[in-house]
Amino acid sequence: MDHQHHGQPLTPLERLQVRDALQDRWREQVRQITLLSLARYERDDPNGSAPFATSGQGTSLDAAIDRARARLEVLEQAMCRLDVRSYGSCRRCREPIGFARLVETPESTLCERCTREVAALNHSNDVGVA
Q: Cα–chain-centroid distance for residue 94?
A: 21
Considering the complex, what minimum distance in angstroms separates the CB of residue 25 from Zn ion?
A: 22
Considering the complex, what minimum distance in angstroms separates the CB of residue 96 from Zn ion?
A: 9
Alpha-carbon distance of 130 to 11, in angstroms, equals 28
Q: Is 120 in the site for Zn ion (CB under 5 A)?
A: no
Alpha-carbon distance of 6 to 75, in angstroms, equals 22
Q: Is 119 in the site for Zn ion (CB under 5 A)?
A: no
Which of these, 77, 108, 100, 74, lies nearest to 11 by C-alpha position? 100
CB-based contacts of 56-64 (< 8 A; 24+ apart in sequence): 61/36, 64/36
Residue count at the site for Zn ion (CB under 5 A)? 5
Residue closer to Zn ion (CB basis): 29 or 107: 107
- State which of positions 76-105 bind Zn ion (CB under 5 A): 90, 92-93
Residue closer to Zn ion (CB basis): 52 or 99: 99
Considering the complex, what minimum distance in angstroms separates the CB of residue 89 from Zn ion?
A: 9
3-state SS class at 35:
helix
The binding site for Zn ion (CB under 5 A) comprises 90, 92-93, 111, 114
